[in-house]
Each structure stands twice: as C-alpha cells, then as structure tokens.
A and B are shown apart, each in its own frame.
Chain A
Amino acid sequence: MTEATRAVSIPVDSASATSRRAPLSARLRTVILYLLLTALLILYSLPSIGVVLTSLKSNAEIGREGIWTLPDQASLENFRVAWETGNAQKYLLNSLKVTIPATVISILFGVLTGYALSKLSFPGSDSLFTFLVAGMFIPPQVVMIPLFRMFNRAGLYDTLWPMIIVHIGFGIPICTLVMKNFFSTIPTAIREAAVIDGANELRVLIRVMLPLSLPSLAVLATLQFTWIWNDFLWPVIFTRSDDARTIMFGLASLRGQYSVAYGTQSAMALIASVPTLVIFIFFQKYFIRGLTLGSVKG
C-alpha cells in the first residue's frame, strides 16, 4: 500500500506535511475540503468584512451603493470623524481607566486567594474555594438592582468607579479558579525549601511562586482584559453622562445620534475593537488556553 501510494503521489503541495504520503484521492479530498472551508470562511467573515469596507467609504458612496461593495476610493476620513467629533478619544481613555485597574486588581486577588487556598489550606478551604468560584455562574442581571442602589447611595453613580469595583468582584471567581489550579501543580517542596530558608509567605509568593506563574497570569490577563473591555451591561446601568462613557457604550449611543452615518459607526466599531484584536492576535495561545479550561480533562 505504501509503495503504491508513493508511486502515484506527486508532490504538488509539499507544504502540507500530513498529506505528503497520502493517495491522490485523499489529497483531492483535502483540496476540496479547503475549497469548502474557504467558502465557509468567507461566508463566516462577511460581517467583519462589511465593517471594514464601510469604514473606508465616504458617506456619499455608502448612500449611493450601500455597504457591501468595494470602496471606489478608500479614505480614513471616517476614522478622523470618529476620533474627533465622535469622542472616541475620551471613550477609549475611560475604557482604559476601567479595564486596566479592574484587570490588574482582580488578578492580584486571584493570586492571593489561589495561593492561600492551595498552599496554605486549612479546614474549610475547599468549601471556600467552591464558594468563591460559584460566583462565575451568577447572571449579572441578578445583582443589578442591589448594586445600583449601593452605588447610588455611595454617590458613585455616573462615575467609572462602579464598573471598576464590579468587574473586580466578578473577576474573583475565574481568577481564583485559574490561580488555585496552577499553584496546585507546583510541588509543595519548593515552598517548604523557601520557608526553611527563612522567607515569609508573602516573600515566597512574590519571589518564588509569581515568576513560575507567568503563563497563568497571561491567560487571566488576556481573558479579563477582553471581557471587561467588551462589557456593555454595567455602563448602561451605572452611567448616564457622556463623561463617564466607555467605548462600547459610546459606540452604542452613536447609533442613536447619527443613524445614517454608517461610515463613522464602522470606524468607531473598529477603533473599539483594536485593543482586544491586538491582544487576540499576539496572545492567542493564552486566550485559547483560558477558554478551554476544564474542557479537556473532563
């Protein structure tokens, strides 16, 4: 069989290592599969392609030809309008002010709880772990009203604070889960050696454990940043004025204001997506690892 295979297979596509020795019919099947996949991919990417096309067109051209044609003359005018008159600058800054502290602090909390629950376990620590992780499943709508009341009373309505605080709180479950699972894989002997050398727990955590946990921290950073950046529910509930708007809320409210300026909206949508796209492209490995937590080991 192998000899026959070699005889008929002409290396047309040597890039594909797995199909090098496959019979011709199998290679044909691969080609057909890829043609189908390409068609499917184009279909699947149409929404994304649509935004990019629209963002490059003038409003006059959109009015004339709709949004699904190639631009006659690509221009970045829409991005300028979104940036300057659409307030994209201000909204982006607000989003950063919310996303960065919330991401950092929730991960920091996860490091503390994860370390305490795995390496300093005590009676009841397993239950506490379950209790902390269970929050992951609570639909945010369930706690919306009491939080609204709480922040209103504290005088924080229409500021960025409620979003930062809530994202930290709702980040604790996933951060605890990931960090505890990670610290559990580190041999206890490493910690004990450091403790015998006279280091206290905080020192062990910072000097010994943290350097080892960089991949897990990267998983959490990509996930948390993306989720918090993309969030839309909390700004709707906790803010009202333009000054406290995040980019996603800004994008949503643009829809009401300039209902015809599709070009501006597309440009704004792209601007709003750049940070998460960049993270996704450069840290995809960590992102995927985070998403597939628990799905492989069963």
Chain B
Amino acid sequence: MWAFIFLAIPVSFYLVVVIYPLVSSFYYSFTDWNGFSDTYNFVGLDNFERMKTDRLFRNAIENTVLWTAAAIVVPTTIGLLIALALHERGILSRVYKSLFYLPICLSLVVIGQVWIWIYQPGFGLINIVLKEIGLSQYMRAFLADPDTALQSVIAAWSWQQIATAMVIFLAGLTAVPKELTEAAEIDGAGYWRTVRHVIVPLLRPASIVVIALSVINSLKSFDILYMMTRGGPFHSSDNLAMMMYNESFQKYYMGYGSAVAVVLFLITLVVIIFYFRQQRGLEQLYD
C-alpha cells in the first residue's frame, strides 16, 4: 500500500517523460511526419530503406564509429597513466588530483568555446606553437578543414573524458592491495611490469566502467559538436546525434530523424548489453 503511494507519482512521471517518448520514436520512424502538421502517413520501412543510399547517414555512421574508437582508447590510456602517476604520491598529489579533475565540472559548451580558441587559425595556441617550432606547413584552420574538424572536436571532448576516466581509475587503484604490488616489485618485476601484470588486471572492473561510460558519452555527444562545428564543414564532422538533429530540427524530416534516433538507440543497446555481460562475468569471478 505505502509502496504504491511512494511509487505512483515518480513512476508515472518516468513513464510519460522517458518511456512513452522512447516508444513513440519507434512509431514515428515508420511515418513521414514533418514536425508540424497533424496528419502524417505510414511509410513502412521507407525511412530505413533510405539510410542505405543516404551518403549523409553513411558519413555520420563512420564518424560515430571513429568517435567511439577514440572514446575507447584515448581517455582510458591517458586517464590511467595520470591516475598511476598520482596514486599515493604524498600530500601534494591531492592538490594535483583536484586540479586534474577540474574539467569534469565544466559544461561542454564552455569547453567547446575554449577549444575553438586553441584551434583558431590566427591566434590559436596550436598554430602559434607550430609556427614557433618551424612547422608552419602544418598550420591550418583546424575546425574549418574537413580533414581535421572531427578529430579536433574529439580531442577537445577527450580533454574532459580523460578527467572522468582518471577519477574512476584512482578509485579503482585504492582497491588494489598494496601487498600485491609490493610483492611483485620485491620479486624484481620492475614498475612497468607490475603495472602490466598486476595492476591492470586488477583494474578490470574500473576499466569496464570507464570504457562503457566513455562509449555511451561518445554516442550522446552533441553539445560540444554543436558548439564547435555544428557538424561542418560540409557535414564532415557530423555524428549520428548531430545528423538526427539536422534531419529533424533543421530540415523537419521528423520521420526520418526518428529512424536515425532508433538506430542510435539500437547501437546504445548493444553497448549496454555488452556492459552488463561483462559486469555479470566479473561478479561470478569475484563471488
């Protein structure tokens, strides 16, 4: 009785704001709704058929895959290295940790803004440095160049993601028994071999969380892309989320946009299933 009273409002709220729209997205993906009219037609699988030949969709998929690949590799390795460097290094390391954590609390809008200035052709930091060290042939307008726009946005995005990964790895490191690492070093394993053969395997639970979080964030990423390139130039930095936004809220192909949203959801679902499989495997391993 009380359980029902406590649950009624939150659960109804959740159903209306999260679940009903999720189901509706599937529904709209079979229509040609334009976003404004009250009527629309059912078009069956037309929207999904259209993806097969849509070069923008293909491009968005490729970019999303690149982003996801970067999300798996970059924050994980750099975050782990900084975490290792900061773990148990005396009182000073606490101050350093806080300073490294800082990007976590910043909005991606702010981060995008700042990184625009780093890439800026005239006074951007990267171009200034390239010029100073005599590599001026590599100077360019990084965000306005289709060859570098996406990679530049991903790098800026990783800046924050590295901090998140580091936090999680540092928490994971506190759970690594000191006796084990000391024993390995006494056996003459050396620091890097201890890291590779003792610490990294013990960090598996943390690594799975870092990778899953990073991949899911990469699939969602929109703010920073909107801020820095809006998917341009010439759609060269579009990901699925940005393409979906363009189709639905710029071109008003809400039906087609919904179909893209459905694809995005299915990709996320695969990641989540993989994540829970790994988690369950770990639980069995440790029980």
Contact = CB atoms under 8 A, between A and B. Distances in A.
Interface of A: 15-19, 30, 33-34, 36-37, 40-41, 44-48, 50-51, 54, 66-68, 109-110, 112-113, 115-117, 120-122, 125, 128, 132, 135, 137-150, 165-166, 168-170, 172, 176, 200-202, 205, 226, 229-233, 236-237, 248, 251-252, 255, 262, 265, 269, 272-273, 276-277, 279-281, 284, 287-288, 291-292, 294-298
Given A202-B2, A232-B226, A277-B105, A113 B25 contact: no
A230 B160 CA distance: 13
Interface in B261-279: 261-262, 264-265, 268, 272, 279
A19 B96 contact: no
Given A116-B6, A145-B21, A148-B249, 10 more contacts: A46-B118, A47-B111, A122-B3, A142-B262, A142-B264, A145-B25, A145-B28, A236-B226, A252-B113, A279-B105
B21 A288 contact: no
A201 B1 CA distance: 10
B10 A48 contact: no
B186 to A, nearest CB: 11
Interface stretch (B45-53, B82-90, B137-145): B82-90
Nearest to A134: B272
Interface residues of B, number: 92
B18 interface: yes
Contacts, number: 265
Nearest to B249: A237
A37 B105 CA distance: 21
A225 B209 CA distance: 22
12 contacts: A112-B6, A116-B3, A141-B222, A141-B244, A142-B264, A144-B248, A145-B25, A148-B35, A230-B106, A232-B222, A262-B117, A295-B205
Contacts of A248: 107, 109-110
Contact of A30 (B35, B90, B123): B90
Given A113-B10, A165-B17, A251-B113, A33 B102 contact: no
Contacts of A232: 107-109, 222-223, 226-227
Given A139-B220, A139-B265, A145-B261, A288 B171 contact: yes
Q: Is the interface of B mostly helix, strand, loop or mixed?
A: helix
Nearest to B169: A295
Instruction: Classify the secondary structure of A's interface with B.
Output: helix
B199 interface: no
B133 interface: no
Given A141-B241, A142-B261, A287-B105, A273 B9 contact: no
A215 B101 CA distance: 21
Contact of A269 (B114, B206, B279, B282): B114
Contact of A15 (B21, B28, B91, B105): B91
Given A202-B2, A269-B110, A295 B206 contact: yes
